[in-house]
Amino acid sequence: MNTERSDALFQPQNLIPPLYTEHTTWVNGNRTASDMHWHNCAEIGLCTSGSGLFFVGNRVRSFTKGCVTFMPGGLAHIAQSPDDSPSEWKFIFVDLEKAGIPCNISDGLIIPHRDLRSLFSMLFDSLSDERQDAELSFCLMKCIVLTFSRLSDSVPAAAQTHHFRTVLPAVNHIQKNYGSAITVSELAKICGISVSLFHRTFRSAIGMPPMEYVNYVRSQSAENLLAFTDMRIIDISEASGFESLSSFSRQFRKYNLISPGGFRKRKRAENR
């Protein structure tokens, strides 16, 4: 299992044979989101409504309705959505080893994929049926894992680092508070280490300096709001935690090579 789990919350699942699964629905806003956590099994999810950010190990990805996710057992992760428009999810938890389904996926995946959505929905319905066809559920689960395995070849793996657990309290703080003012000294204090050590450790764990990561998370949040809401750009700037519209535009261009307004126009054209 992934070593990043060490200081994240452990959320065990009650898995039911013969397929060793559990399934549930979940409504997720910022206040209802826990710290980054891990499970004793694989987690497969389908976002049925809403959008937001998904923190997976040392990476951040945006998600929206229709995205299907795969999190291996032991990998620290958390999904976050605005409290005024929480995302809705369906989850299936499974111990693939006990179920007899081989899997070599070691990284978290977040993919908008029509076939995976269909397979997931059929499996969820099968598991929900009191007259569950165990053989059908097994075949659907195997198809889902094989599809994820094939797609995982084109997804870069998360960096493995022994420093991640040291800065995990800071990552948790950022994912919950990126819309507010954040300082490096504040983050170092949360982790219980000096500012200089925190800066070095954070960069080693995440791959970028602390405030660059904060601005990256804010830019990811802004991408989501630009693409899927009608909020004014100045309001998106404030909601994402930028000090000024000029700072927002500068940081957004840094990560997207396009202005916020240009990004919104392009997304709307793609969705027509």
Tens digits of residue pLDDT in 59-112: 888 888 999 999 999 888 998 887 778 899 999 999 999 999 999 898 899 998
Measured in degrees and rounded to the nearest 5, phi and psi for residue 27 equal -105, 125
pLDDT digits 0-9 by tens, 142-167: 999 999 998 886 444 444 445 788 89
Strand partners, 239: none
pTM of the model: 0.79
Residue 108 carries which side chain, given as an amino acid letter?
Answer: G
Rounded alpha-carbon distances, angstroms, from residue 196 to 175, 193, 209, 211: 22, 8, 11, 14
What does the alpha-carbon distance between residue 251 and residue 256 come to, in Å, rounded to a whole number? 9
Residue 35 carries which side chain, given as an amino acid letter?
Answer: D
What residue has token string 């997976």? 56
Strand order in the sheet with 37-38: 9-10, 37-38, 77-80, 51-56, 59-64
> Which phi-psi region, left, alpha or beta, contains residue 151 (left: φ > 0; alpha: ψ -120 to 50)?
alpha
**Residue 235 scores a pLDDT above 60:** yes
